[in-house]
């Protein structure tokens, strides 16, 4: 029974696992590029506050759209959803990034997608 449950979980999350592996490779390559172009601390700050935030915002938006498509498909077969509480809106920063409150924000966003 445990092996079946493990296989079911792996199947269910295979797409997200592939995305994670792809992002890890992308982040490693991009960080190396930033690191070669600047000194150690500047490259870390530039990477985490710039590229990583931008890319994760993009990934979360894509996952949200995919979730909305799944939700619409479920509604087509008769699923009725309870009203959702209003989500906090975020002001846009210069360069199009949203104002983030740190790691907790991303963990919350990932939990909402699941």
Please report, in tens digits, the pLDDT of each residue of the chain (114 residues total).
688 888 888 888 888 889 999 999 999 999 988 888 877 677 788 888 889 999 999 998 888 887 888 878 777 878 777 776 666 555 544 444 555 566 677 777 777 886
Residue 92 three-state SS: strand
Cβ proximity of 47 and 30 under 8 Å: yes
Residue 94 has a pLDDT of 45
Residue 52 has a pLDDT of 92
Residue where the block lists tokens 């995305």: 19
Question: What are residue 81's phi and psi, to 5 degrees?
Answer: -100, 145
Cβ proximity of 37 and 5 under 8 Å: no
Most distant CA pair in the chain, distance: 56
């Amino acid at each position: 029974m445990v092996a079946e449950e493990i296989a079911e979980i792996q199947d269910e999350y295979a797409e997200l696992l592939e995305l994670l592996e792809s992002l890890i490779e992308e982040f490693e390559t991009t960080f190396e590029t930033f690191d070669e172009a600047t000194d150690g601390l500047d490259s870390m700050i530039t990477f985490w506050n710039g590229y990583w935030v931008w890319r994760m915002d993009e990934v979360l938006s894509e996952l949200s759209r995919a979730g909305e498509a799944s939700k619409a498909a479920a509604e087509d077969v008769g699923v009725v959803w309870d009203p959702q509480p209003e989500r906090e809106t975020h002001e846009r920063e210069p360069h199009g990034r949203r104002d983030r409150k740190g790691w907790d924000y991303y963990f919350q966003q990932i939990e909402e997608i699941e």
